[in-house]
């Protein structure tokens, strides 16, 4: 009889213990973003391109927003305190909204864009930071999101195409002059 009471007690007691969660091998699916698909007033894109590990490094940042759109070109590593050359860009009113929708559709606002483990060596790098609804969203230069890779690189091409060729040519001429006159170390 004692054995039966003990057995019933154990069964009753074990039914009160909550079930332990089982570990999952994959992360839970990403929920759809809570952000509206409409572009906010504070939306801004900062696209940065830098040359690879070549003899004379340079880079530029293209900033697009409702208030201003510009390119800032830097002919040398920032630590060498080079000049920064700036040109304003003219963009169509609806273009910023188009970029917001493309980023929204590519999942920028509802998933983490992680730096890839296998980072390619050499070559140029491109990164994008978008500001929306008082938050910052970043796409690192080498990311693990093959599903949306083509859409993001197509957007990068479209952003770069906003800079007139004569502006880039002018920057490159200034850069050559800067290299000739620069007497510091790279």
Where do the domains of the chain lie? Answer: 44-150
pLDDT for the residue 104: 85
pLDDT for the residue 46: 95
CB atoms within 10 A of CB 147: 10
Q: Which residues of the chain have pLDDT under 50?
A: 2-32
**SS3 call for 93:** helix
7: region left, alpha or beta (phi > 0 left; psi from -120 to 50 alpha): alpha
d(CA 90, CA 11): 75
Q: Encoding tokens for residue 144?
A: 């693990």
Q: Where are the beta strands (DSSP E) in the chain?
A: 44-50, 59-65, 69-74, 85-88, 125-132, 135-139
165: exposed, middle or buried (Cβ count in 10 Å: 0-12, 13-18, 19+) = exposed
CB atoms within 10 A of CB 62: 21
pLDDT for the residue 126: 85
- pTM reported for the whole predicted model: 0.74
**SS3 call for 18:** coil
């Amino acid at each position: 009889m004692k054995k039966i009471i003990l057995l019933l007690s154990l069964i009753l007691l074990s039914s009160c213990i909550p079930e332990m969660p089982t570990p999952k091998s994959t992360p839970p699916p990403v929920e759809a973003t809570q952000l509206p698909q409409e572009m906010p007033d504070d939306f801004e894109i900062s696209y940065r391109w830098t040359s690879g590990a070549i003899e004379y490094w340079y880079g530029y940042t293209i900033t697009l927003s409702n208030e201003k759109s510009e390119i800032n070109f830097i002919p040398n590593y920032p630590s060498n305190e080079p000049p920064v050359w700036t040109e304003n860009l003219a963009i169509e009113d609806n273009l910023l909204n188009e970029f917001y929708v493309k980023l929204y559709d590519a999942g920028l606002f509802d998933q983490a864009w992680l730096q890839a483990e296998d980072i390619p060596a050499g070559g140029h790098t491109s990164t994008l930071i978008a500001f929306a609804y008082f938050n910052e969203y970043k796409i690192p230069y080498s990311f693990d999101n093959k599903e949306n890779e083509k859409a993001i690189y197509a957007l990068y091409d479209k952003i770069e195409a906003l800079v007139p060729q004569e502006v880039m040519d002018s920057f490159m001429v200034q850069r050559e002059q800067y290299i000739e006159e620069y007497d510091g170390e790279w």
